[in-house]
Copies of this chain bind each other. A is one copy, B any other.
Amino acid sequence: MRLEQITIKDIARELNVSTSTVSRALKDYPGISDETKRKVKELAEKMDYRPNAIALSLRKSRSFTIGVIIPEVVHFFFSTVISGIEEVAFARGYNVILTQTNEKLVREKSSIATMLSNQIDGVLVSFSKETTDFEHFSNLLAKGFPIVFFDRVPDIDNAITVTVDDYSGAFEATKHLLQQGYRRIAHLSGPSNLKISQERARGYTDALIHHGFTPDPGFIVECNKGTDDEAQKITAEILETFSTKPDAFFANNDMAAVGAMLACKAAGLRVPEDVGIVGFSNWQFCSMIDPSLSSVSQPGFNLGAKATEILLDLIEKKIQLGEYSNSVVLETELLIRKSSVR
């Protein structure tokens, strides 16, 4: 701030009272004459006084700021989550400091360090793909620092997590493909160290078993990057090399699903007649492509909002660690479009 901010000192001097009087008057403390209150408030208004939040933070050891650590901003799902976070934080008077890790563990670590140095009151975290040990967070947790994990969460005790129901989303998607008569369903999975990937794969596998089919481990193919290009290449390879060709693809995310769709088309296969495809996330473009893409929709905004509410409740001690159900799971919904109906 090179802005010459007005302080309570300025007001005090002007009015020939002490700074404590000004401070109390502004906050409607009892034991200040109405006359003084009026004068102080009037002048404060007139001088456009704004309390210095930094000084307040130092005094109260509270910054009214929460940190958000996210793998990538440019990602439809995460941007909806951020939107939900920002909405709730703003409504409850908190600032949001944002950093993206670009999927790098080092950045995750340095981000949390800077944020702590900035005295954030709590933090919302979604892991990078590189993160496999959680020491940098479990240390904080052990000290009672408020952390809420969302979407990509660690598998440690006592961690409060907010996720979507990946398992049932995947289960429903696979079940839907089976019901449409697809029999050789391949799964384009995500990085296997992420719990969401594991859960989605598990939902896929269980749906097969539940309907009397024997899952073939070879039909789960990992797409690490999750881009359409990658999935396109991998799908093309599958279609070429597998002795038993898949007749459907359930992808871990929509980009991968699009990649699979493009590869199928390129191989002369018709979607949905020859090959069924279902994605995950319900990105905006699902309804815009041809054929429109069936997808499991995740409530990103609600997820962000819910995670923030829990975090703020924790910070304000409205709830205690452990009092809350440790893991909140939000419903997913399968949106059936053309790519999987025949």
* Residues in B whose Cβ lies below 8 Å from that of A76: 74, 76
Closest to A63 in B: B54
Which of B58, B83, B119, B144 is A74 in contact with, Cβ under 8 Å?
B83
Q: Helix, strand, loop or mixed for chain A's interface?
A: mixed
Query: Does A116 lie within 8 Å of B3, measured CB to CB?
Result: yes
Copies of this chain in the oligomer:
2
Known: A145-B3, A289-B285. A119 touches B82 (CB 8 A): no
Interchain nearest-CB distance for A285 vs B (Å): 3
Which of B74, B98, B285 is A96 in contact with, Cβ under 8 Å?
B98
Query: Does A1 lie within 8 Å of B86, measured CB to CB?
Result: no
Interchain nearest-CB distance for A299 vs B (Å): 13
Interchain nearest-CB distance for A304 vs B (Å): 10
Which among A72, A283, A288 has the highest number of chain B CB atoms within 10 Å?
Answer: A288
Query: Does A116 lie within 8 Å of B58, measured CB to CB?
Result: no
Interchain nearest-CB distance for A229 vs B (Å): 10
Interchain nearest-CB distance for A255 vs B (Å): 8
Known: A74-B79, A95-B114, A96-B99. A53 touches B2 (CB 8 A): no
Tell me which residues from 136 to 162 in chain A have a Cβ below 8 Å from any Cβ of chain B.
140, 143-146
| Complex CA distance for A305 and B79, rounded to whole angstroms | 19
| Complex CA distance for A19 and B2, rounded to whole angstroms | 28
Q: Does A113 contact B (CB under 8 A)?
A: yes
Query: Does A51 lie within 8 Å of B1, measured CB to CB?
Result: no
* Residues in B whose Cβ lies below 8 Å from that of A96: 97-99
Query: Does B2 lie within 8 Å of A145, measured CB to CB?
Result: yes
Query: Does A1 lie within 8 Å of B53, measured CB to CB?
Result: no
| Complex CA distance for A254 and B100, rounded to whole angstroms | 26
* Residues in B whose Cβ lies below 8 Å from that of A114: 53, 95
Query: Does B2 lie within 8 Å of A144, measured CB to CB?
Result: yes
Given contact pairs A2-B144, A79-B79, A283-B285, a sample of 9 additional A-B residue pairs in the complex whose CB atoms are under 8 Å apart: A1-B61, A3-B140, A3-B143, A54-B118, A74-B76, A83-B100, A95-B97, A95-B114, A285-B288
